[in-house]
Amino acid sequence: MSTCGISARLIAETPLAVVDTETTGLYPGGDRVVEIAIVRTEPGEQPKLILDTLVNPQRRVAATEIHGITDADVADAPTFTDIAGVVLAALGGSVFASYNVYFDSRFMREELRRAGVSRFPPYLCLMYLRPMLGLGRKCGLSDACNESGVTHSACHHAAGDALAAAELWKQYLHVCEREQIRTFADLAQLKSYKFMSSFNDPLFDGAPSVPAGRAPVMKPRTVAVGPAGTKTSRDASGRQVVISAYWDALTAAIADLDFTPHEVFYLKAKQSALGLHPDELRWLHARAFSGVLADMCQDKAFTADEARSLSGLTVALRELGWAPGDEPLTSFVAIS
């Protein structure tokens, strides 16, 4: 394992492992990964899907309405501990990246910890790179792809999301080259984000630090991968598409618990465009709120800063139509 960070490394010459996970919820301490995909982007090569499997969470699957994964789907899938060695090998020698890295990295850390792995590679957030590089505002993956001309055929499908995010990374590389942003230190000069502190951490060497055993049998949800993206073993229902699209936008907005007026307007417009039902909106807002609250309380403390952040989240959710504690919705607030 390398003993130095990545700040001085050339971005264009550094492999990236683009990771996407689907989970039972928002709280890594109690929720679990139910699907993982890893796409490797090697310098000068096209992105390659190298890991794609459902994961048995060893608990009841939740959030099926968002990702479409059921208890039956994961019953014969490998556990995360089963695949931990494969995951470590897939991350070897690369920077960990995902579209919403604060979400995926926290779940990955927790799953690796359960498998006996305490270390984690440097990581990069592709969602925040978008405004950093002047390509647009922070938004959900689907909207970023639409605005960038990237095919995104399967929202909240790990392989589809990881492949789409890897295509966005290719565009980011072109911008970095044009703007002469050569190293990760150069990137960190653009704006300060929490993930940049990981640039001091070493890359994995790819050697699994979990006990060797029989090679796990993967269970991908993907049945075909091609230029147009991914095809799943069963198509998402119409309401699942609506729910997952709003959830994608909502979780992008709450990533930093700092709603901007633009993000509120953006989410109101999303509600209107999707035709989200009041019951669906109330459930999604409640799910987001409970996930944030559970995560804040996992250390058995609740600070004044966390209380202020939760209060701000409540105000934003109320402005978006409903917050926990409000009366049931009857109609949406019109976009002004």
Integer Cα distance of 24 and 86 in angstroms: 22
- Structural domains of the chain sorted by starting position, each given as residue range(s) with its CATH number in brackets: 11-200 (3.30.420.10), 257-319 (no CATH)
Q: Which residues contact 277 (CB under 8 A, 6 or more apart)?
A: none
pTM: 0.90
- Residue 213's pLDDT is 63
Kindly give the confidence (pLDDT) of every residue in the chain, 336 residues in length, as a single tens digit, with 9 standing for 90 and above.
Answer: 445 799 999 999 999 999 999 999 999 989 999 999 999 999 999 999 999 999 999 999 999 999 999 999 999 999 999 999 999 999 999 999 999 999 999 999 999 999 999 999 999 999 999 999 999 999 999 999 999 999 987 788 999 999 999 999 999 999 999 999 999 999 999 999 999 999 999 998 766 566 666 788 999 996 554 444 555 555 567 889 999 999 999 999 999 999 999 999 999 999 999 999 999 999 999 999 999 999 999 889 999 999 999 999 999 999 999 999 998 765 544 443
Please name the residue that has the structure tokens 């059921």.
70
- Residue 226's pLDDT is 46
Q: Beginning with the edge strand found earlier in the chain, give each strand of the sheet holding 33-41 in spatial order.
A: 48-54, 33-41, 16-23, 95-98, 123-125
> Quick one: which of 185, 229, 215 has its CA closest to 20?
229
Supply the DSSP string of 266-309, one letter for each residue.
HHHHHHHHHT--HHHHHHHHHHHHHHHHHHHTTTS---HHHHHH
Contacts of range 132-137, beta carbons closer than 8 Å, 24 or more positions apart: 132/187, 132/190, 132/191, 132/193, 133/172, 133/175, 133/176, 133/179, 133/181, 133/190, 134/175, 135/171, 135/172, 135/175, 137/262, 137/266
3-state secondary structure of 83: helix
- Residue 205's pLDDT is 79
> Could you tell me how far CA 312 lies from the centroid of its own chain?
22
Range 52-72 burial, b when 16+ CB lie within 10 A, else e: bbbbbbeeebbbebbbbbeee
Integer Cα distance of 235 and 69 in angstroms: 11
Integer Cα distance of 243 and 173 in angstroms: 32
- Residue 204's pLDDT is 86
Integer Cα distance of 257 and 103 in angstroms: 13
For residue 89, give the H/E element and its range.
helix 80-91
Identify residue 336 by its one-letter amino acid code: S
- Residue 2's pLDDT is 47
